[in-house]
């Protein structure tokens, strides 16, 4: 909302530092193939991070995105195998994502059930429902039109890169410049103040969950077409990666503060750590522990900063 925040700056600083170390110690990291692989592997987190940013900005959370990701991926595969044309496959996945989002959002907005409870139930229901429906079987023998969205394998990464950039820029711009973006921030800062200002708080809540659902569907399709089979248990634990990236990117878990750009930086930092360790010759088993430390550091900075502010302000 107001330029490059301090958090964005410090995450960017960490990324640059990591980059410099890699450039000196192991320039191979920056080989085109490696970067392409790294990017494609993290497309789901990048895209879903945008939706999660919206949800967290309105002071809610959605932990069902990993399960929804699996549902959308499997559904897209089933539709493609049934001979549905690719654009309709994408649309079908999006409808599922949006519907799940509307259910989540409505339960949160109208029945006032805490979002963590609603989406926990949704997470379990979708995951177990999918297990029951597929009996754990993977979707195989996908048609050629499904692979790489029917594009040449070399073009596909560019198309995905373009999509991610458009989404990233679009969401960042909309949050900063559109009335609806302002309404997202206001809703998250104070539901009651936003309601008093005449903003449709309930519709905003349903809306952010629905948009998040659509983005999960897009992420699921873009990811699934890279492989020739779709595991029915895909996306396990993905919600935690997404939430971690949003939090590290500076979006306050209490809502009202944060940015899409911060989330992008959060994704870059967290996704680069693991491969960087490999290149630096450190055991990759450290990756998760280091993720944990980064999240702790980010949250601790948030906790300490208001304290420092208060100490100055009391004067």
Partner 1 sequence: MLLEAIDIAKSYAGVRALKGVSFDLRAGEVHALVGENGAGKSTLIKVMTGAERPDAGTLRVGGREVPHMDPATSHALGIAAIYQQPALFPHLTVAENVALALEGGGFWRRVDWRRRRENAAALLARVGSAIDPMRTVDTLSMPEQQVVEIAKAIGANARIVVMDEPTASLTTREVEGLFQVIGRLREADVGVIYISHRLEEIFAVADRITVLRDGLTVETRPAAGVERAELIRMMVGREISSVFPKETIEIGAPVLEVQGVTSLASGVRDVSLTVRRGEILGIAGLVGSGRTELARTLFGLTPADAGTIRVNGTAVRISSPADAIRAGIAYVPEDRRQHGVVLDMSIAANTSLASLGAVSERGLIDRGRERAAAQEYVDRLRIKTPSVLADAGTLSGGNQQKVALARWLSTRPAVIILDEPTQGVDVGSKAEIHGLMQMLAARGLAIVMISSELPEILGMSDRIAVMHRGTIRGVLDRADATQPAILALALAQSPAH
Residues in contact with partner 1 by CB under 8 A are 1-2, 177-180, 182-183, 185-186, 189-190, 192-200, 256-257, 311-315
Q: CB of residue 188 vs partner 1: minimum separation in angstroms?
A: 9
Contact (Cβ atoms closer than 8 angstroms) between residue 141 and residue 81: yes
Backbone φ and ψ for 230, nearest 5 degrees, come out as -115, 110
Taking the least distance from each CB to partner 1, the nearer of 158 and 180 is: 180
Could you tell me the smallest distance in angstroms from the CB atom of residue 194 to partner 1?
Answer: 8
| C-alpha–C-alpha distance, residues 140 and 305, integer Å | 51
Tell me which residue of 138, 170, 125, 134 sits closest to 264, measured CA to CA: 170
Q: What span, in angstroms and rounded, lies between the C-alpha atoms of 207 and 111? A: 16
Query: Is residue 27 a contact partner of residue 173, using CB atoms and an 8 Å limit?
Result: no
CB 309 within 8 A of CB 6: no
Nearer to partner 1, 179 or 283 (CB): 179
Tell me the torsion sign for CA atoms 141, 146, 152, 155: negative
Give the shortest CB-104-to-partner 1 separation in angstroms.
Answer: 23
* Least spacing, CB of residue 246 vs partner 1, in Å: 17
For partner 1, give the closer residue by CB, 111 or 312.
Answer: 312
Shortest Cβ 131–partner 1 spacing (Å): 39
Q: Distance between CA 206 and CA 200 in Å, rounded?
A: 10
Given the complex with partner 1, which of 198 and 237 has the nearer CB atom? 198
d(CA 239, CA 212): 12
Beta-bridged to residue 139, according to DSSP, are 230
Q: How far is the CB of 7 from partner 1 (least distance, A)?
A: 14
Q: Which of 77, 119, 82, 303 is nearest to 213 (CA)?
A: 119
Query: For every residue of 237-256, which 3-state class applies, written as one string?
Result: CHHHHHHHHHHHCCCCCCCC
Closer by beta carbon to partner 1, 32 or else 311: 311
- Residue among 195 and 226 whose Cβ is closer to partner 1: 195
- Return d(Cα 36, Cα 9) in angstroms, integer: 25
Q: Which is nearer to partner 1, 205 or 224 (CB)?
A: 205
* Least spacing, CB of residue 218 vs partner 1, in Å: 23
Asked if residues 205 and 113 have their Cβ atoms less than 8 Å apart, the reply is: no
């Amino acid at each position: 909302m107001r330029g490059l925040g301090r958090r964005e700056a410090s995450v960017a600083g960490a990324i640059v530092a990591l980059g410099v170390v890699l450039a000196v110690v192991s320039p191979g990291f920056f080989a085109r193939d490696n970067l392409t692989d790294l990017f494609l592997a993290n497309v789901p987190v990048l895209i879903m991070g945008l939706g999660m940013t919206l949800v967290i900005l309105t002071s809610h959370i959605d932990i069902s995105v990993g399960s929804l990701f699996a549902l959308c991926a499997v559904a897209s595969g089933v539709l493609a195998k049934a001979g549905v044309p690719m654009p309709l496959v994408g649309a079908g996945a999006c409808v599922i994502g949006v519907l799940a989002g509307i259910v989540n959002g409505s339960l949160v907005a109208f029945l006032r059930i805490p979002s963590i409870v609603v989406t926990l139930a949704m997470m379990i229901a979708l995951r177990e429902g999918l297990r029951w429906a597929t009996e754990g079987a993977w979707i195989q023998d996908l048609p050629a039109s499904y692979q790489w969205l029917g594009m040449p394998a070399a073009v596909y990464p560019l198309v995905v890169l373009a999509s991610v950039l458009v989404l990233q820029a679009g969401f960042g711009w909309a949050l900063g410049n559109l009335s609806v973006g302002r309404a997202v921030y206001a809703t998250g800062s104070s539901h009651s103040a936003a309601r008093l200002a005449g903003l449709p708080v309930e519709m905003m809540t349903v809306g952010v969950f629905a948009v998040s659902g659509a983005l999960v569907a897009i992420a699921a399709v873009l990811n699934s077409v890279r492989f020739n089979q779709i595991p029915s248990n895909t996306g396990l634990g993905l919600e935690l990666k997404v939430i971690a990236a949003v939090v590290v990117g500076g979006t306050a878990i209490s809502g009202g503060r944060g940015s899409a750009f911060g989330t992008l930086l959060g994704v870059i930092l967290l996704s680069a750590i693991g491969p960087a360790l490999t290149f630096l010759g450190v055991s990759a088993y450290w990756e998760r522990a280091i993720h944990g430390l980064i999240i702790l550091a980010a949250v601790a900075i948030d906790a300490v900063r208001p304290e420092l502010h208060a100490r100055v302000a009391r004067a």
